[in-house]
Amino acid sequence: MDFFEAQARAKKRTTRLVVLFAFAVAGTIIAAYFAALFGFGAYGSTHSRRSASYDYAAASADYSLWQPSLFAGVALGTLAVVGLASLYKWSQYSSGGSAVAESVGGRRVDPHTTDLKERRLLNVVEEMAIASGVPVPAVYVLDDEPALNAFAAGLTTSDAAVCVTRGTMEKLTRDELQGVVGHEFSHILNGDMRLNLRIASIIFGILVLGLAGRGILWSLRGIRLRGKNSGGVLAFIVVTGLALLIIGYVGYFFGRLIQAAVSRQREFLADASAVQFTRNPAGLTGALRKIGGYALGSSLETHKAAEIGHFFFAQGFSSAFGGLWATHPPLPERIRAIDPQFDGQMFVPPEVVDVAHESFVAAGLAPAKPTTDLTASLTAPLAAIASIGSLTPGQISGAAALLDATPARLRTATHTPAEAPVLLYGLLLDDDPAIREKQRALVAARAGTDALRLLDELDPALRTLRPEHRLPLLQLALPALRSLPPTSLAPFLDALDELVHADGRVSPFEFALQKLLTRTLALGCAPGGATVQYYSFNALTAEISVVLSALAHTSSNLDMDARAAFAAGATQIKLIETQLAFLAESACDYSALDGALDKLAIASGPIKQRTLMAAAHVVGADGQILIAEAELLRAISAALDVPMPPLTAVG
């Protein structure tokens, strides 16, 4: 799956979706207009006929089906109601995936859980996040849902959440759970999450008219008529409520049809991506067969999740109108799309499930041994760019091996808001004893003596840490860091900046850590703030020059070699190749690089793609990847909101 192509498809689908829903809203406006025309006409004629001077001929002549002022009023009123309701729902969702998961009753899984099933779920999610280069999503469980289902929600990869039902966590094997999580990671990586939230918001906006009508009718219960004119007023209110109810639900009906049609096609694509990620079709088909075999299947108990039914891994609610509202294809179709030899036989649940002899690996406490070594499973720069937004079995097994080789005490620290900041302090400690002591004093002054004691406790494990483990530890720590309150987050970032500058210089890793951290936290706090503002390469030649020059200088201390590396990258952007300028090291320092990346972060997908491809050619120009180059390239990728898998590097 090509990440940039998938993002472009998601935008095209969004445009088509907006057009389709515009037609649905237009139909709602027309229906409301004729209802108003009929209602006002009927109400006016009833009162006029009571007058002795009522002229039937004149009334008929004056009556017209087209009344611009009435239509304008109805259209503006309908658009206002639908628009405000949709914006209200969008504002609820804009807090990110965790807000969506919690709105339907999700419980966040404690990173320190000792529950074997929860530990297995966390391991699978962490492996896929490290392999794909995205921040580790928040993980939630729907405790009251015994059926098999799951969903991913969020606006960006930085605020994503993966939520599974209790049944999914308890009834699936590790391979099957990996297939389901791979399906959800497909939605995270290809832009489906944001589209899902837009669909839910617009459908809620259309439904609000029906809800308003139902509320009007419900409010009339028990009302007694008083006065000779009260009957007409009551009749008008009843007609208005009934009209709103019918109009709203007619629009809702067609909105749900559009929602279902869009969702069904995307589920096939997500299934295919999950199989591509894991190279284990049996895992995904096994999960689907279990859904078809268990009595509860994928049906959800709570109706809180009805409005996000299209988010889920499988059909969460009964589909009305003969399947027209079904958000997912039938299970046999999904299974046959993966396994053409499927015989139609679903899973047969055993009467007694014996898990006493489940292996340590199958229990999820240790990942399966990779079929390739860590170095072989990681990717070269060009391959990394090509695999952005995708996952391979090699990447997943490589991530599992990388996590397995990370000191357990440090992995534990990533899961705790109190310890994760101190861990990052530790990652920045210098090898020079004098500078190290200065940094320890900074930690004590900024974070307190307790933080210093914890830093000393982590120090033995930090000294054994290999360079390729440092950025993955940051990825693991991001969920805990996102939970820090603003009053704690700001001092933490200030302390981190002081530690970086304690020796008077900034290393590629230090820049990478700060950039990854600040960009991810910013998007996590305001996921809706990332908007495209640049569509032209010509508007960004200076910024692209800074990025490629900074990488070239990182790859070599010799000006001649750095210039050659820059040229290798510049040739990848033919449109502006002659306008790109190789800059002196002082003109592309980390301050200049930081500003350039901030501007490129709001560029279009094609600009980001070609820039990253050019950057990869710069890094790979000399045939080897230095650790500094790998870390800087991943920082650049993260700053552009593009997930990049880990890279093989040498010292």
- HSE value, Cβ hemisphere, 13 Å, CA-based, for 405: 19
Q: Tell me how far apart the alpha carbons of residues 153 and 388 are, in angstroms, rounded to a whole number.
A: 20
Q: Tell me how far apart the alpha carbons of residues 314 and 264 are, in angstroms, rounded to a whole number.
A: 10
Amino acid identity, residue 98?
A: S
Distances (CA, A) of 23 to 28, 82, 210, 230: 8, 13, 18, 38
Of the candidates 493, 598, 476, 625, the residue with the CA atom closest to the CA atom of residue 542: 598
Using a 10 angstrom Cβ sphere, with 0-12 exposed, 13-18 middle and 19 or more buried, the burial of residue 70 is middle
Distances (CA, A) of 551 to 573, 580, 639: 16, 14, 15
Percent helix, percent strand, percent coil in the chain, to nearest 5:
65, 5, 30
Q: Tell me how far apart the alpha carbons of residues 614 and 618 are, in angstroms, rounded to a whole number.
A: 6
Do 642 and 388 contact (CB within 8 A), yes or no? yes
Do 335 and 343 contact (CB within 8 A), yes or no? no
Tell me, what DSSP letter sits at residue 352?
S
Residue 163 phi/psi, 5° resolution? -125, 130
Q: Tell me how far apart the alpha carbons of residues 630 and 634 are, in angstroms, rounded to a whole number.
A: 6
∠ CA 369-372-378 to the nearest 5 degrees? 115
> Can you name the residues that pair with 538 across neighbouring β-strands?
none
Distances (CA, A) of 590 to 106, 391, 414, 546, 554: 41, 31, 27, 10, 11
184 annotated active-site: yes
Q: Tell me how far apart the alpha carbons of residues 189 and 254 are, in angstroms, rounded to a whole number.
A: 29
From the list 127, 176, 184, 631, the catalytic residue is 184
204 is written with which tokens? 């809620």
Q: Which residues are tagged catalytic?
A: 184
